[in-house]
Structure 1
Amino acid sequence: MKKFKEFLTENGVNLLEMRFLPALDKMGKICHLYLNRDHVIFLHNLFNGDGVQSIAQFRKEALFDDYRISSQNEDCISFAVDVSLLHRALRRIVSICTEFLNISISKYGDLHIQISTTLITLGAEFQTLLVLGERADAPSEDRNLSAQTRSARTILRGDAQSVEVSVKHFGKRLQCQLGKPNYAFYGIAPQGTGACWTVIFQFFIPGSHKMDKSISLHCILPVRDQGSG
């Protein structure tokens, strides 16, 4: 029996969809995909002596956040893939992952951003950020878990809050970075007060590391759903 489960990271999607799959498609329509415990390898013309052979190898961490593989062949799996179809499917998945994203903030100083569908999960995580207010230490048993699993466990413990926001609104929030703030503080309003995700930007007095109290900039994003925590 062969089993393979994985969650593509944002970096993994960018590497494949924007860079490697377009190049591999030019090498030939069909290639072999070889998977083992540590690597994902794309092979062109491996069994054909004619033409150019190409090998693209990725360590699992370069593409995936949660990577699990098992087979009776020493946990190795190989199969042929149509590169153009794979590229098209990945573009389609990325295009439908653009409506809502989940944001969680923990007492450990972790900011976790994730977009999910039934086929793919993309995420980014920022750890050990400065926490204003109540702070807690992350349990040691969580250290070797995936970002997705850690985030879910933290929410269940009540040590994090989670909300869903519109990707469109999130994109507009990013435009505030054009103001070149020195700091950005993120927070989720508690339930019962009109839940929202708030970003407060702060600026330094030019030539110093002192806060410029004469400038104020903040964004409030409405949320679709208030998660646990």
Structure 2
Amino acid sequence: MAHRNRDTSGDEETLTVDELRGMMNKRPVQAKERTTDPAQNTQRMDAALAKCRIGVAYIDILKIKNSLLFGKYNDRPQEAREVNKLVASFKKEGILAMREATAIPIMLSGARVKTGSSLVVNFDIPDAVPQLQLKDVDNIVVSSGQHRVAALKKYSEIVTEEMARMEQRCNDITARKNLSPDHLTEFNRLRDQLDDLQGTIILMGKWGVIVYDEGEFYRCLYCATGTVAATG
């Protein structure tokens, strides 16, 4: 027979082993329906995005007057390690700015697009992708891509500093009283490199964006889920 144990540290009685066993939930295991499924939520978000896609264009990240606003849809903190990895990739593999996989998704009202300007469906013909033209200089909400933007700005600074060093060396060679064939070879080599870097600067500013109608996104998401996205 199981005996009731008495708690020596106080006056309350502890339950016996049999009493504890009797309180165990021994019903058959049944699958519980999940009211929230992260994967389903992601699929619904993707479906809502697909329906509110306006088109693609490019922006000059280094010169655009509109401020790029991060954190509304993705509050992931910026990590220096990720930025440095992207900079290393730009140096080694070049800048692949006009691709669906690397384009930066932005959210804005379609009414902000300047009258008479148009977007294209995809990046299949990179040279045909137009520059995004807006009626205002208000913030542009960016749903992801902060590391790419930070890496581009950092890489731009690196290239600009390198160009300044090359130009200074060219000036030093030009100012020499005595020039040798080696000086001429170095000067012409530096000038060719400056041309290449200037092309890199122009290229890195033109980055592809996928434009989504923010108001339509909320409407589609509400129709699909009955809720709206958290804005962070």
TM-score interval, smaller chain: under 0.3
Q: Which has the higher contact order (CA 8 A, sep 6+)?
A: 2
**Structure with the bigger percentage of helix:** 2
What TM-score results when the alignment is normalised by the length of structure 1?
0.22
What TM-score results when the alignment is normalised by the length of structure 2?
0.22
**Structure with the bigger percentage of strand:** 1
